[in-house]
Amino acid sequence: MKKILYIVSTLQKAGPTNQLSYIIKYLDKSKYEPIVLTLSPEFKNSMVDYYKINLKVRVETLNLSRIKGMFLSKKRVENFITDNNIDLIHTQGFRADVLSSKLNIDIPKVATIRNYPQLDFPMTYGKYKGYIMTKLQIKALKKLSICCGVSDAVANNLRNEFNLTNITTVRNGVDMDKYYPLQLNEQETMQNHLNLPTNMKIWITSIGKDLRKDSTIIAKAFKKLYKIDKNNFLIFIGDGELRVKCEKILRKNDNVLFTGKINNVLDYLQSSNYFISSSQAEGLPNAVLEAMACGLPQVLSDIEPHKEIIDLDNNTGLIYKTGSVDELYNAMTTILTYNYNDTSKAVLELIQNHLESSKMSNQYQEIYENLLKGRNNE
């Protein structure tokens, strides 16, 4: 039995934490024993109980602030690895990747990369801090055994922009035990429960927390669509700095719902018909995969990860030029002309064949096996 140590900042409820749970859920427990080590105290919306109770995973924490972690985490993690006879480290996230690269421990080190560092860090943390973080992370990744981009787009960015050679692709997956479509009668029941219309085409999207998702593009395109076809309804999930602008654009439209932050996103996905994304940067977005697992055709901005999804089967949705209201409007009107049942079926088959979470976990396990086998042969 080989012990795999997963190092993350926290188990805050978010896409990366969900993806890690899928990896662990489908691990071959006869071969691998997973242990999760967090670096900092948990947030209120932590998934730590889910990991401990549902996944039955041992979760430990250093419980260090970011400042204390700079000075104490390296030695403590090295001691933890030695004391627990860890065979392989798997990290995700800036802090964990940089820490892993500094450990004086001779075992395989795997990292999962979910973003474009040179784009995402400056957008999230500011130009100067983002530049420094990008430099530090790339320097760290070069020291690891293998880095797994969550899409070909992410992996190719690391190769082409930073000349990394220890790169492969393991696409994000979605757990179809959790995300799945409802039958028509079940969908209508759910729509009634959520006070949604049962006789309209329902579009769903998420409010951007920052400018990486310019949700105003969607608001403007929907406003144009509604003028010619009142049989459409739009749901904005979540909250963010662009909500006020979107509400202003659609202030005279009754066919729009802003849910704010909610815990039952799945209910709204299962009640909807189409999913829209206006993202300007993604790895391989969980929101898109979760919507697809619920059978929703996609209308996606033309960033590389979105195109990668649609290229797997171009019968599942449409791509529009990022930031273009007119192109999004045209894509929305076009997809409404498609046979809905055929498109939804193609979406589900794409997920089952290429983007299901157990397949993702199996790919990681192949990487573990090859790295550990190579180590045993040394």
DSSP 349: H
Task: Tell me the whole-structure pTM to 2 decimals.
Answer: 0.92
> Does the pLDDT value for residue 377 go beyond 60?
no
Is 351 within 8 Å of 176 (Cβ atoms)?
Answer: yes
Reported as a single tens digit per residue, the pLDDT across 204-217 is 999 876 667 889 99
> Does the pLDDT value for residue 234 go beyond 60?
yes
Smallest CA-to-CA distance from 91 within 136, 36, 134 is with 36
pLDDT of the residue at 123: 83
Work out the pLDDT band at 374, boundaries 50, 70, 90.
Answer: low
Tokens describing residue 52:
């401990």
DSSP 341: H
Would you say how long the chain is, in residues? Answer: 378
Domains of the chain with CATH codes: 2-173+356-376 (3.40.50.2000), 184-354 (3.40.50.2000)
Distance between first and last Cα of the chain: 19
Residues contacting 147, CB < 8 A, separation 6+: 110, 111, 112, 113, 141, 158, 164, 166, 167, 168
